[in-house]
Amino acid sequence: MSKHVFLTGPPGVGKTTLIQKVTQALKSSGISIDGFYTEEVREGGRRTGFDVVTLSGKRGPLSRVSSDSSTSRREYRVGQYVVDLVSFEQLVLPMLRNVNHGSDAEKKICVIDEIGKMELFSQPFIQAVRQTLTGSGTVVLGTIPIPKGKPLDLVEEIRSRKDVKVFNTGFQKNYH
């Protein structure tokens, strides 16, 4: 029996929108829910990065377009984006620790949108996600990217867990 639910699909197909709608419905029915989602940041019609938004209303940068092509040693990049690991961890890790330290008697839902390349630069995040998935009192509602290029270890681990059900949103060719 599946305990956790993950959505996957190509970018822009509506995974985050669906997560937000489900979150609102669960909150309004009085269910204990916490977590975060990622949101596009746009300026003048073009995407300039992503923000992390917690369900408690905190917001901070996850990544921004970098105009500087030279990379410093301590910079984490995905394509044209530079990942703000400090901001991401400051927002997400306390929330995940809080979810993991609640009493198991209280069933909780934890939203993790998304477990992707940018987020996986954080080792403490990877550990916290594993802990959340194995915690008995928490159900995870999350998103993972479709397989493309080099497999992401944690994403493949989630995909193959017996207690996870993955739903494919959107249409893709040649994907099983």
Kindly state the greatest CA–CA separation across the chain: 51
Q: Which residues contact 100 (CB under 8 A, 6 or more apart)?
A: 128, 131, 132, 135, 138
Domain-embedded: residue 82: yes
Indicate the number of domains in the chain.
Answer: 1
Mean pLDDT of 13-20: 92
Are 154 and 122 a contacting pair, CB within 8 Å?
Answer: no
> What confidence score (pLDDT) does residue 176 get?
43
What does 121-142 look like in DSSP terms, one character per residue? G-HHHHHHHHHHHH-TTEEEEE
**What is the Cβ-side half-sphere exposure of residue 106, based on CA atoms within 13 angstroms?**
13
> Which of 1-5, 100-104, 109-113, 144-148 is most confident?
109-113
- Report which of residues 171 and 87 the model is more confident about: 87
Domain-embedded: residue 176: no
Domain-embedded: residue 81: yes
111: exposed, middle or buried (Cβ count in 10 Å: 0-12, 13-18, 19+) = buried
Domain-embedded: residue 33: yes
83: exposed, middle or buried (Cβ count in 10 Å: 0-12, 13-18, 19+) = buried
- pLDDT greater than 70 at residue 24: yes
CA distance 160 to 154: 10
> What confidence score (pLDDT) does residue 171 get?
58
Domain of 90: which CATH number?
3.40.50.300
Record the pTM: 0.89
- Report which of residues 96 and 68 the model is more confident about: 96
Domain-embedded: residue 175: no
Domain-embedded: residue 74: yes
Q: Decide: helix, strand or coil at residue 79.
A: coil
Mean pLDDT of 76-91: 95
Q: Mean pLDDT across the chain, nearest whole number?
A: 89
Range of the domain at 74: 4-168
Instruction: Report the length, in residues, of the chain.
Output: 176
Domain-embedded: residue 85: yes
Domain-embedded: residue 173: no
Closest to 114 in 3D by CA, of 24, 22, 9, 26: 9
The model's confidence at residue 139, banded by pLDDT at 50, 70 and 90, is very high
